[in-house]
Amino acid sequence: MDNITLYVRKDLCTGCGECVQNCPNDAVSLFRGQARIDNDRCDSCLVCRDVCPQGAIVEAVPVSAVSREELVATVSGLRQRADDLLARIDRLRQ
């Protein structure tokens, strides 16, 4: 799996601890009521991202010297992930 850098959106994190409880590598902890990811311990399994009910754990998407095609593919992938997250939210509301 590619090495993906994850980070916590502080504006969305409620400190519920779901990510901490489910991380198989103990790479996520709570600090001052919010999740914090130790990227040295993280193996990019994305479990924390998937279990976060707030969608507060996200992938850092570097936009460097990439081609237009790569950028379009990245945006398309992000759009699909957003759709998946919205579907998860709808299921939780039911």
Q: φ and ψ at 49, to 5 degrees?
A: -65, -40
Whether 27 and 1 share a structural domain: yes
CATH number for the domain spanning 50: value is 3.30.70.20
pLDDT at 62 over 80: no
Does position 22 have pLDDT exceeding 80, yes or no?
A: yes
Residues 70 and 55 in one domain: no
Give the number of other Cβ atoms within 10 Å of residue 45's Cβ.
Answer: 16
Query: What is the total count of domains within the chain?
Result: 2
Do 52 and 77 have their domain in common?
no
Give residue 80's domain range: 62-94
pTM > 0.75:
no
27 and 46 share one domain: yes
75 and 56, same structural domain? no
Res. 1: pLDDT tops 50: no
In 3D space, the residue among 46, 57, 47 whose CA is nearest the CA of residue 14 turns out to be 57
